[in-house]
Amino acid sequence: MTRRWLALAVPSLGILLIGIDGTVLAVATPFISKSLGATATQVLWIGDIFSFVLAALLVTMGSLGDRIGHKKLLLCGATAFSFASAATAYAPSAELLIGARALLGVAGATLAPSTLALIRGLFPEPRERGVAIGIWASVFSAGTALGPVIAGLLLEHFWWGSVFLINVPAIVIVVAAGSVLLPEHRNPGPGPWDLRSVALSLIGVLGLVYALKEGVANGLRIDVALAAGVGAVALARFARRQLSLPVPLIDIRMFCDRAFSGVVVANLLSVLGLSGVTFFLSQFFQLVDGYSPLAAGLAELPAALAATVFGVLAGLAVRFWSPRTILTAGLALIGAALASLTSITPSTTYPQLGVALLVVGVGVGLAYTVSNDVLLAVVPAERTGAAAGISETACELGMALGIAVLGSIVADVYRGLTIPPGSLDGVAVHARDSLAAARLAAETLPQGPAHTLLTAAQAAFTDGLATAAGVGAALLLASAASVWLLLKPRAVPDSPVSQCMRTEP
Give the pLDDT of the chain (505 residues) as one tens digit per residue: 577 788 888 888 887 877 777 677 767 877 887 788 777 677 777 877 877 787 777 777 877 777 788 888 888 888 998 899 999 889 888 889 999 988 888 888 887 777 777 887 788 776 777 677 777 777 776 777 677 778 878 888 888 888 888 888 888 888 888 888 887 766 666 666 778 888 888 888 788 877 876 776 667 788 888 988 999 999 899 888 888 887 777 777 777 777 777 778 777 776 766 666 666 777 788 788 888 777 877 887 787 788 778 877 887 787 788 888 888 998 999 899 989 999 999 989 899 899 998 898 888 778 877 877 777 676 666 666 666 667 766 766 676 667 667 777 787 788 777 766 654 555 656 677 677 777 777 777 777 877 887 888 888 888 888 998 898 888 888 888 888 887 777 654 544 444 454 444 3
User: Alpha-carbon distance 119 to 101, whole Å?
Assistant: 27
Cα gap 80→77, rounded to integer Å: 5
Query: In this structure, is the dihedral angle defined by the CA atoms of residues 45, 47, 50 and 52, taken in order, positive or negative?
Result: negative
Query: In this predicted structure, what is the pLDDT of residue 499?
Result: 47
pTM of the model: 0.69
Q: How many angstroms separate the Cα of 319 from the Cα of each of 1, 117, 464?
A: 21, 22, 42
- C-alpha distances (whole Å) from 177 to each of 10, 180, 183, 401 are 7, 5, 11, 34
- Nearest to residue 150, comparing CAs of 166, 136, 134, 135? 166
CATH class name, domain 2-194+245-500:
mainly alpha
CA angle at 121 for the pair 119 and 125, rounded to the nearest 5°: 85
Q: What are phi and psi of 457, to 5 degrees?
A: -70, -40
Between CA 154 and CA 85 the distance in angstroms is 15
Q: What is the DSSP letter of 160?
A: T
- Confidence at residue 502, expressed as pLDDT on a 0 to 100 scale: 44
Q: How far apart are CA 218 and CA 298, in angstroms?
A: 34
Q: Name the residue ranges covered by the structural domains of the chain.
A: 2-194+245-500, 195-244
**N- to C-terminal Cα separation, the chain:** 35
What is the C-alpha to C-alpha distance for residues 475 and 182, in angstroms, rounded to an integer?
A: 38
The answer to whether 77 touches 215, Cβ cutoff 8 Å, is: no
Could you tell me if 398 and 271 are in contact, meaning their C-beta atoms sit under 8 angstroms apart? yes
C-alpha to C-alpha distances, 455 to 122, 165, 280, nearest whole angstrom: 55, 36, 18
d(CA 207, CA 233): 10
